[in-house]
Amino acid sequence: MYTSKITGLGHYVPENVVTNDDLSKMMDTNDAWIQERTGIKERRHIKKGDGNSTSVMGVKASEIALKEANLTPNDIDMIVFATLSPDMYFPGGGVEVQEMMGMRTIPALDVRNQCSGFVYAMSVADQFIKTGMYKNILVIGSENHSGGLDFTTRGRSVSVIFGDGAGAAVVSRNEQDDTGILSSHLHSEGKHKDELALQGPSTEYWVPEIIEKNPQEDIPYYPYMNGQFVFKHAIVRFAEVIHEGLEANGLTVADIDMLIPHQANLRISQFIQQKLKLSDDQVFNNIQKYGNTTAASIPIALSEAHKAGKIKKGDLVVLAAFGSGFTWGSVIVRW
């Protein structure tokens, strides 16, 4: 069997910066309240009419990743697109990327695993590469949260957390050395599905328009999150799946050079860092700037960390995520 290797990374976030002070003008909140609970200072939001969408941002991130990998769109054999906020209910964002980038009639697979979406997508790409079926796979995580959030006081516990953006990775066949993806580990526990969920529309049909046509008190169109419940489960599952990945490869926490956790909440990342006894140089966080971008958070963070020179050849890089479903997973990479 072959091994798979990340050969290109890219990310894109909208230009529109939304600070905590900006949100305080829309709802009863303030900068101190948000930072204390989430660590977030600002996030990026699409401006309606600015030309961005979930798929468009995915394309912008992908173009950067392809350039870094020294590949063209015609070199890509498959697209794996992770998002919870597709431009339409169906078809998914993968085929939109295929069309926008002028690719051949390659397969486009959409992954709907929310915060764990990119980890799941990387696992899928890894298997297709390992079996020899494909040589270069484009893996994308992209989210447009801002179109479907409740920007009133009623929704402040959720709406202050999320931001928009996209990240992409080119995963390629590796035949030269022992670097690349060592293993991936995936889990789910559907009995907690209602603790973090959205039962409503896509971002193409905006929530305020729906409510105007169909006003009601109990609104299922906005995301719901039982924050404390999610937090308690996240810190357990994060640690478990990181250890699982390390043990599967005969490694220990001491071998980690860089942990890229899903940017759910800075407090969760800090708790995991302390639990694993990792230094600040061993964990990369950027939720302070972008908020929680769900499926896009790991590829954005991975791209930023790599471009900042924080990851070098030979480093052991661990990707780990936990989110709605509940689903969680890890990917162990030798850079």
Distances (CA, A) of 30 to 26, 35, 157, 210, 328: 10, 9, 12, 28, 31
**pTM of the entire structure?**
0.92
CA distance 174 to 158: 41
pLDDT for the residue numbered 203: 61
pLDDT for the residue numbered 85: 93
Q: What is the pLDDT of residues 250-292, one digit of tens each?
A: 999 999 999 999 999 999 999 999 999 999 999 999 999 999 9
pLDDT for the residue numbered 178: 83
pLDDT for the residue numbered 218: 62
pLDDT for the residue numbered 217: 65
Beta strand 165-174 with 180-188: parallel, antiparallel or unpaired? unpaired
Cβ contact 253:276 at 8 Å: yes
Res 182 pLDDT > 90:
yes
Arithmetic mean of pLDDT, 288-313: 97
Arithmetic mean of pLDDT, 50-70: 98
Least confident of 141-145, 204-208, 253-257, 259-263: 204-208
Which structure tokens are listed for 35? 């930072």
Cβ contact 23:29 at 8 Å: yes
Arithmetic mean of pLDDT, 16-36: 96
Q: What percent of the chain has pLDDT over 90?
A: 83
Least confident of 2-16, 49-63, 215-229: 215-229
pLDDT for the residue numbered 223: 79
Catalytic residues: 115, 262, 292
Q: For the chain, first and last CA: distance in Å? A: 19
The band of 199, judged by pLDDT with boundaries at 50, 70 and 90, is low
CB neighbour list of residue 240: distance below 8 Å, 6 or more residues apart: none
Distances (CA, A) of 200 to 210, 223, 225: 10, 8, 14
